Amino acid sequence: MELSSFSLLDTYPGQGGGRRQPFQEFLDLVQVSERCGLAGIWVAEHHFQSGGVCPSPPVLLAAAAQRTHRLRLGSMVGVLPLHDPVHFAEEYSLVDQLSGGRLRLGVGSGYVPREFAGFGIDAGRKREIFDASLSVVLAAMSGKFVRGPRATSQRVRINVRPVQRPHPPVWIAAQRAEAVPFVAARGFSVALVPYASAPDLPGLARVVRAFRRASPPGSNAQVGVAVHFGAGIDPRRGRTALQRYLDSRMTARGSFLRDATPVPPHPVSAERLEEQGFALFGSRGAIEAGLEPFRRMGVDEILGHFDFGGLRTIEVHGSVQKLAEVMGSARIALESAPRGPELGAVSSA
């Protein structure tokens, strides 16, 4: 099981504490992640809100490519319905070139009403637009002639192709458990926000099993799970920061998060996520124990969300380092251990 960093670049009005400009903070996180031996870094695309201030992941990932040598670089996600797919393919192909083939292409259909309204996109057609756009993006990256979304578009072939052929590995963010088998059947990897996909760890394990069952024979597709971490941080402070983050996301998404989270009548709260095992705070031992269920259910990559809710840079970097140490020692300890059943010791009771 690998560990990566995942960032939304969330900001808050009146945020103090000597925090630096969010883009520089992200690039610092990139360099810390590389030094600590993490597998990758993921960045989200958002528009018109303080809960995510990266409107262009390719720009940030290109900057990250020039500051790293090994770290894999990913969008989580590029919101396809908001873009011309040919231009999208060009920009991300260029990132793959600049990084020497380290791009992971995370895409999704989006969920924030304000973003669709701001770009004049009918949110009711987002899945239809997503499917059509993804086909164009992958065909263009593969060197084929494609036609853009406009009726007058000519057939074109992009002049910068990715290093990875026919295209970089595709990851799709799935908010709902029902979507997971469809992602798997196409041979793509999936990234899960666990509290939007399952009520608890046993439920998440069932989602992972469904993904494996639906994957084509011989598929190398992977499962990534986003988890909030505060390694070495006072749990009370971690919960306060997480609740601040969740409140911000709830405002941005409107009713989406409430509708997508299958745990009514329980509210989406920091305490609830910690009880579910989807947020881990505190000591090395507590973090290590909290990671075990993910390992046993067969999660391939943990997308560690470290920089949330206004935590200080020193806390974020310290958390990355401590968690990297935990993951490294745990990986060594379990290397020769036989793998248990998919659910392992996680009870479904």
Mean pLDDT of 247-257: 62
pTM of the model: 0.88
Per-domain boundaries in the chain: 2-76+169-334
Other C-beta atoms closer than 10 Å to the C-beta of 330 total 16
pLDDT at residue 263 is higher than 50:
no
Measured distance CA(316)–CA(249) in Å, rounded: 20
Give me the pLDDT at residue 333, please: 41
Give me the pLDDT at residue 17, please: 44
pLDDT at residue 149 is higher than 70:
no
For residue 11, name the pLDDT band (cuts at 50, 70, 90): confident
Mean pLDDT of 240-253: 83
Mean pLDDT of 207-226: 96
pLDDT at residue 258 is higher than 90:
no
Give me the pLDDT at residue 56, please: 97
Give me the pLDDT at residue 127, please: 94
Average pLDDT taken over every residue of the chain: 87
User: What's the pLDDT tens digit per position in 41-95?
Assistant: 999 999 998 889 999 999 999 999 999 999 999 999 999 999 999 999 999 999 9
Portion of the chain with pLDDT greater than 90, in percent: 77
Give me the pLDDT at residue 153, please: 72
pLDDT at residue 124 is higher than 70:
yes
For residue 183, name the pLDDT band (cuts at 50, 70, 90): very high
Q: Is the model more confident about 248 or about 313?
A: 313
pLDDT at residue 18 is higher than 50:
no
pLDDT at residue 321 is higher than 60:
yes
For residue 157, name the pLDDT band (cuts at 50, 70, 90): very high
Mean pLDDT of 297-315: 95
Mean pLDDT of 297-323: 95
User: What's the pLDDT tens digit per position in 266-279?
Assistant: 467 999 999 999 99
Give me the pLDDT at residue 252, please: 60
**Domain 2-76+169-334 belongs in CATH node 3.40.50.1220:** no
For residue 121, name the pLDDT band (cuts at 50, 70, 90): very high
Mean pLDDT of 281-309: 95
